[in-house]
Structure 1
């Protein structure tokens, strides 16, 4: 493994289906440079096409989550818009990933690093975690989806406060604003996230994927559009083996094992 490849560690627990991606540039507080953006793009794309991945945990090594984009080398060659398109592709891959995603945050998560965490479905932090939309202090505007994510999560006024002042806030304030799902003690973080990811991975994969997509898509749609989407996706759920399995488990007072398999016989089966 080259030094560049070592900047992103990947661990797939085949028994549970949980994939853990760890940003591994601790000397830079896991700031993301060009090669690491490429590695993230490849890893997320691969995860999206791997049926054995049932949940994703995104975290950072060395006591930090991510200090954002690595600007230490100055502005690189090439057109800035081309570079931003590549970064935007990573944001979309994470946002549209069908499996549940969890950000495990210790230390700082700032700039694109914070928006990387917010791009996950759930965020778990420690009391020591710190967050900032630091862009304004670098004479930059929001990126990695922050301009879309923040108003939806905290409302327009608070989003403007976070973006325009670029303040550093603590984990409890971030949780009170709806930007962190749970705050747990540092010594409990690993166990908490492992249990959470295992529970998500054990869920019905098709149903969870569709609920995630519905929530993401319908935030900007009318009630009529949302109801139509719900009807469509519920019909797909009834065509899997998971829904009957869940009903049987409910009646038998047992736990269902979910596979996401298609349950409608094909014409070849007749």
Structure 2
């Protein structure tokens, strides 16, 4: 089973074979003798759930450290709209690039992961302010609460076995997500090239349905993330991989938050 979250799917450490199965070769007699004559290396302790939770908390603390000032500055007018635009969409692009670098890197890079959280905070704070200015107060708090509720529900569903990360589950989820992303790309082209209204913010049944689909897909991806964190712990990965696990969870939670925020905005706009 491989997660579609790039933080896990590109990392063999989170597969069921585990860290201990990498490039296993039978040593020769001379190699064994050399190994026994060398001093025993200090082995990095295995990753635990507490390590993952701690590093996830660190990432969110850093994210909030940039998101809150950006949000507050835009809402109160302390940050101009031009500067706010650059911070928001500059953070989005930079976060996307840095996220891809982290996902495709063969090494765990805590510095880049923390930097990603800081940059992503600019985008999250900025886009949250834009929604607030457009649709009114209270939207962000409701989206945060909705994200926490969805996270808790998926965690309970996973732990109780109500939803299992089976091969069929993964295939259906990937196909649905690919279709969702393809539709988003087509919509983007129609808006900027053909000057058509965006169906992504349609206040009718179509817009609400698409938004509900996005929330559902993001929520279900949490199940895959939980599964691969569990496999990493079970395979006794080195402690540094807790950063990769935290990165994967944060990426999915940000996606979920943005989908819920958009759904709430559509529902408020249709009133």
Place the TM-score, normalised by the shorter chain, in its bin: under 0.3
Q: Report the structure, 1 or 2, having the larger strand content.
A: 1
After TM superposition, the score normalised by the length of structure 2 is 0.26
TM value normalised by structure 1: 0.26
Which is higher, the Rg of structure 1 or of structure 2?
2
Structure having greater relative contact order (Cα 8 Å, sep ≥ 6): 2
